[in-house]
Amino acid sequence: MTVRAAAVLVAAAALALFLPGWAAAEWNLTRNGSVVTYDGRSLMIDGKRDLFFSGAIHYPRSPPELWPKLIERAKDGGLNTIETYVFWNAHEPEPGKYNFEGRYDLIKYLKMIQDHDMYAIVRIGPFIQAEWNHGGLPYWLREIDHIIFRANNDAYKKEMEKFVRFIVQKLKDANLYASQGGPVILTQIENEYGNIKKDHAVDGDKYLEWAAQMALSTETGVPWIMCKQSSAPGEVIPTCNGRHCGDTWTLRDTNKPMLWTENWTAQFRAYGDQVAMRSAEDIAYAVLRFFAKGGSLVNYYMYHGGTNFGRNGASYVLTGYYDEAPMDEYGMCKEPKFGHLRDLHNVIKSYHKAFLWGEHSFEILGPGYEAHVFELPDEKRCLSFLSNNNTGEDGTVIFRGEKHYVPSRSVSILADCKNVVYNTKRVFVQHSERSYHTSEVTSKNNSWEMYSEVIPKYGNTKIRAKEPLEQYNQTKDASDYLWYTTSFRLESDDLPFRGDIRPVLQVKSTAHSMIGFANDAFVGNGRGSKQVKDFMFEKPVDLRVGVNHITLLSSTMGMKVKICRNSAAYLEHEMTDFAIL
């Protein structure tokens, strides 16, 4: 075997409605060091409650030259926080050898966020999923004896703790935590562990307890979170991931605030999938349902997806990541999604005092109709959310003696609990269209080259085995391609094939695709899909008297796993092997 290396924005200013006398909130970001705390209502910066509108923008998925524009545009969209994962296999491709250059310069990225007077949420994991190759875990972990990923396993916990403490110290050295005057107000340990907790049974709880205590012991001065959970150990805050956390998630730790770490703005694209759409109206509806029930932080996943460069994408994931986010793959505003959410942020910020300090009450107005009210009677401030949760049924409700029309599946914000200043279904933003034109600059003087690789034969190989060796373990994630070859001799008496009858080469593979050759002649190809992971390569071949050569080129596209979205338990055992039948 031989291993081969892997080869017009249209933006319209939407109508934002405000009532006289209500000033927009100013974000409270200090450079002198802040105390970040929380209670059952919200996060607090130096004892002051705040609202947090956050957007996920991953630094490795965009060139550094684009980072300032992305951050600036996100701030123009009404965000005050940027969220990102930390990518272990990008930063430590080999044990003890670190990379923080170019697109992986996490420190530079966080400092840019600070320069724009915005907060940051850093999700260390270090397993991150993120539709990223191997879930962000470096390949070399698999070569550690007796290791079990994301489990109460000493070998894994040792390496995980080493990396987490390394990242925390790197952020501390750069004074990036809010307690040091930096932008980072939250850090995350682990990631969506509820997806696999059942596979680890009791030991899963022990692992989470250990992870929480380990994280807290780093003394960052800011809270830690665990996402997609209803409860979390100790002082760690559990958070929600999903599309409608206001209606589908119950926070069991009532002394902790309701935080939404992933509001999915669309869906990542995979080969063979349809375009994943989610309307601006549905996202806005979900946000206001969450805030009406006491939420105070929402993070849009993704706000800008960017590009899976090189070999970064996970199994079957396209290079264009979350192109239907409020900012598309190229950083342009995706209207009306960008503008409609911007208006929502601006309206809520304008009435933040009643929302954050007001007394919360709830009222049923009819079947599927609700009113959530936040009121400061002494200051005559009142903010209410009128919800129509019925699908396809517009309606009118009476609230405090006034009649209000509420479209189906929408939420209206009432300033002073009287005047509608925003409705999630009424969009005052012009739709944008994106068109592509050939660039004269990039198309000039192009020269194309073809590389022809010799189809290897058994005699050319150095690694030999009686059975095919597992691809991922052989390439060590340095390539997506691996040649398999075998040779055998046939005598004339061994050729029972006559006329139209031909021998068939059958290979059952769990890689992504395969190309087959017999005696240097191409015989066909096969591939799997996101829905059906393994496939059968079955092609007729022509054999001859004497020595015959069978050669297969197996390829993967991101490390695949057996269950949805790259978060399987026992990922360390996942293989891309195949069997010749």
Give, in words, the CATH class of 8-355. Answer: alpha beta
pLDDT at 568 over 60: no
pLDDT value of residue 573 = 66
Nearest by Cα to 491 from 549, 550, 547: 547
- Of the listed ranges 70-74, 113-117, 202-206, 546-550, the least confidently predicted one is 202-206
Phi, psi of 94 (to 5 degrees): -130, 150
| H or E element, residue 290 | helix 280-292
pLDDT at 2 over 50: no
Q: If pLDDT is split at 50, 70 and 90, which confidence band does 505 have?
A: very high
| Candidate list 262, 324, 329, 574, residue with the active-site label | 262
- Of the listed ranges 325-329, 418-422, 511-515, the least confidently predicted one is 511-515
| Candidate list 192, 281, 329, 574, residue with the active-site label | 192
Three-state DSSP class for 481?
A: strand
Q: Where are the domains of the chain?
A: 8-355, 361-423, 459-580
pLDDT at 276 over 80: no
pLDDT at 477 over 50: yes
- Of residues 93 and 29, the one with the higher pLDDT is 93
Same fold, 8-355 and 459-580: no
Q: If pLDDT is split at 50, 70 and 90, which confidence band does 499 have?
A: low
Q: Tokens 């080969």 correspond to what residue?
A: 271
Q: If pLDDT is split at 50, 70 and 90, which confidence band does 528 have?
A: confident
Task: State the helix-helix crossing angle for 337-350 and 280-292, rounded to 10 degrees.
Answer: 20
Transcribe 313-346 into DSSP letters.
B-TTB-SB-STTSSB-TTS-B-TTHHHHHHHHHH
- Of the listed ranges 173-182, 394-403, 491-500, the least confidently predicted one is 491-500
Rounded Cα distance between 323 and 305, Å, is 6
- Of residues 442 and 315, the one with the higher pLDDT is 315
pLDDT value of residue 23 = 31
Q: If pLDDT is split at 50, 70 and 90, which confidence band does 196 have?
A: confident
The overall average pLDDT reported for the chain is 89
CATH number assigned to the domain covering 459-580: 2.60.120.260
pLDDT at 100 over 70: yes
pLDDT in tens, 369-388: 999 999 998 889 999 999 99
Residue 21 CB contacts under 8 Å (≥ 6 apart), including other chains? none
Q: If pLDDT is split at 50, 70 and 90, which confidence band does 207 have?
A: very high
Two tokens, residue 377: 């009677």
pLDDT at 65 over 60: yes
pLDDT value of residue 496 = 62
pLDDT at 111 over 50: yes
pLDDT value of residue 13 = 29
pLDDT in tens, 330-379: 999 999 999 999 999 999 999 999 999 999 999 999 999 999 999 998 88
The fraction of the chain above a pLDDT of 90, given in percent, is 75
370 is catalytic: no
Two tokens, residue 424: 């999630």
262 is catalytic: yes
pLDDT at 3 over 70: no
Q: Answer for the pair 118, 82: CB distance below 8 angstroms, yes or no.
A: yes
